[in-house]
Structure 1
Amino acid sequence: MKCLPLALGLTIALTACSQPSNPEERTATPGHATTAAAPAGDAVPATVSVKTDDLGKYHWLLSEAMDSGGKRIDALFARPDKPLQLDFTDQRINVSNACNRLGGGYTVESEQLHVNPMAATMMACPDPALSALDGAISQRLQGSSKMSLQTSGHTPQLRLVTASNDTLVFNGEPTAETRYGSQGETVFLEVAADTKPCSHPLMPNAECLQVRERTYDAQGVATGTPGEWQPLYQSIEGYTHEPGVRNVLRLKRYDVRNPPADAPNKAYVLDMVVESETVKK
């Protein structure tokens, strides 16, 4: 049985994670708009400025990285399937999809992003390229970088030029709060080790997760008695179930406005796995 103490897990999630769920509140930095000149011609959409207050509304995924000579920085793409991700939460910048989770305080002033020295979790990664990824991104983010934040068409883009003249370009994906228009509600669901057949209105012969709600006090100690297992007729964003493994999940639950017919009016987004246990049959 592998368990992460809940009180410790809550602290790590607040200081280092980004979920899924998670990652997620708005930043409190003063709004500052950066406007780029629109290219000539009708074929290219005009550039729309975005305020730095909007940093926290997106997950920022690394799409390009070039050194001062215009050469691609391969060391920053050690995980091609999971690009480096920045999240700006409560005046902290969090980095995920490296070897460890990294985080530190930040400020924005006069088109300059200043990142304080970053702390990291202490997980070891056997892949040397992945192990080196922590240092490769942290040394470029720490200190001051020139920042431009804009959209061309519908995709927000964050561009950083570091003190060593490296250029990092991140594409923005809306957070769950942005997509659902609220901060959501934190809930805990225990997910049984195995799915069961269920009557799903949209999918014949469906297999549903079996779940029950859990409650915890302020110290992270479980309270109350779990109820009966119930089928969950929908997926959980960011969660992939492994048969035979029971999990306790911390989730954000959002109201879905005007859902289609037979679709759920709630959405669940994974924040963190609190507890995990392989169940022997």
Structure 2
Amino acid sequence: MKRILLLALPIALLAACNAPDKGEAATATPATTETTAPAAIDAGLLAANHWQLDDASDGSGARIDALFVRADKPVTLDFGDGRLSVANTCNRMGGSYGLSGDTLTVAPMASTMMACADDALMALDQAAGSRLEGTLKVQQLDATTLVLATAGGDVLRFRGEPTAETRYGGEGETVFLDVDAQTKPCSHGVMKDAQCLQVREVHYDGNGLEQGERGAYENFYGSIEGYDHEPGVRNVLRVKRYTVKNPPADGSSLAYVLDMVVSSEMAK
């Protein structure tokens, strides 16, 4: 029995206090807080992070609970090459975007068409998409925070997590790995009585046709960031491979980050 996973589409604060003029009654004026928008949006800074939704409120200040269906997997934005990708909704969504001054404009987004059993998770697509499409005001953007205001008055606050490209200082090399269904015992350096993934590379041409024959599975000493192996399931993964600058003495000089699960099947 085979189980095939769908391919996903490649989707500031200033406090002011008003003091009374001389001669006026000394009446205390509460401090007000407002965000300071960037004069121009730094596209490179947008692309340097995965932006995870940290808080969201409507025009009255109430939390938008519909956007927080997956507590352990917040809605995440990724910007790059003129496209916005949205992850951790029911379906992956994505569309083109443009920048002008402190304004971010997102074109209507396309999405995969996978059905989710959880009704709240299904509704998350609409809740996120309807707020992210159109014109958004960038109220704050720095290395750790992105604050967007929608035309309807909602405010979305995101926390920045550096991308692998940012952490490793380069684009990385795209490779495909065939990961066998079962791990095997292995020992390497400080890894005693460990279980290693069984991995072999797969090669494709520019048209996506597999080239050559797959070799034998070998122990994979390390981990693939973002990949959780399920025993009994064999996967073909598209990963990014990065060179680690100044690796620790007992560590690898290569780092692997999951880009996509290309296919998945139960072992016979």
TM-score per shorter chain, which class? 0.7 to 0.9
- 2:222 is paired with a residue whose SS is coil
Cα-Cα RMSD: 2.0
Match of 1:125 in 2: 116
Which runs of structure 2 are paired with 1:79-158 in the superposition (5 Å)? 79-151=70-142, 156-158=144-146
CA distance in 2, matches of 1:249, 1:270: 7
- 2:126 is paired with a residue whose SS is helix
Q: Deviations over 1:166-199 (max 9, x none)?
A: 0000000000000000100001111111111111
Q: Which amino acid aligns with 1:242?
A: E
- Does the Cα contact within 8 Å between 1:149 and 1:156 map onto a contact in 2? no
Structure 1 position 109, deviation (Å): 0.7
- Does the Cα contact within 8 Å between 2:9 and 2:94 map onto a contact in 1? no
Match of 1:25 in 2: none
- 2:203 is paired with a residue whose SS is strand
- Does the Cα contact within 8 Å between 1:36 and 1:150 map onto a contact in 2? no
Q: Does 1:77 align with 2:68?
A: yes
Structure 1 position 127, deviation (Å): 1.2
CA distance in 1, matches of 2:175, 2:140: 33
The counterpart of 1:61, out of the listed 52, 67, 71, is: 52
- 2:70 is paired with a residue whose SS is coil
CA distance in 1, matches of 2:9, 2:124: 21
Deviates more, 1:263-272 or 1:214-223: 214-223
Structure 1 position 60, deviation (Å): 0.2
Q: Which has the higher contact order (CA 8 A, sep 6+)?
A: 1
Match of 2:162 in 1: 174
Over the matched positions of the two proteins, sequence identity in percent amounts to 55
The counterpart of 1:201, out of the listed 189, 192, 210, is: 189
Structure 1 position 222, deviation (Å): 1.1
Q: Which amino acid aligns with 1:196?
A: K
Match of 1:23 in 2: none
The counterpart of 1:230, out of the listed 218, 227, 231, is: 218
- Does the Cα contact within 8 Å between 1:56 and 1:87 map onto a contact in 2? yes
Match of 2:22 in 1: none
- Does the Cα contact within 8 Å between 1:252 and 1:268 map onto a contact in 2? yes
CA distance in 1, matches of 2:16, 2:249: 43
Q: Deviations over 1:116-164 (max 9, x none)?
A: 111111111121111111111111111111103334xxx6100011001
Greater Rg over alpha carbons, structure: 2
1:274–1:38 distance in 2 versus 1, CA, 3 Å: same
- 2:159 is paired with a residue whose SS is strand
- Does the Cα contact within 8 Å between 1:106 and 1:115 map onto a contact in 2? yes
Q: Which amino acid aligns with 1:259?
A: P
- 2:60 is paired with a residue whose SS is coil
CA distance in 2, matches of 1:13, 1:231: 31
Match of 1:2 in 2: 3
What TM-score do the two structures reach when normalised by structure 2? 0.86
Structure 1 position 52, deviation (Å): 3.3
Match of 1:259 in 2: 247
CA distance in 2, matches of 1:176, 1:39: 38
Greater share of helix residues, 1 or 2?
A: 1
The runs of 5 or more residues in structure 2 that have no matched partner are 18-35
CA distance in 2, matches of 1:13, 1:64: 25
CA distance in 2, matches of 1:128, 1:229: 41
CA distance in 2, matches of 1:52, 1:184: 20
Q: Does 1:277 align with 2:265?
A: yes
Q: Which amino acid aligns with 1:234?
A: G
Structure 1 position 226, deviation (Å): 1.1
CA distance in 2, matches of 1:182, 1:171: 22
Q: Which amino acid aligns with 2:265?
A: E
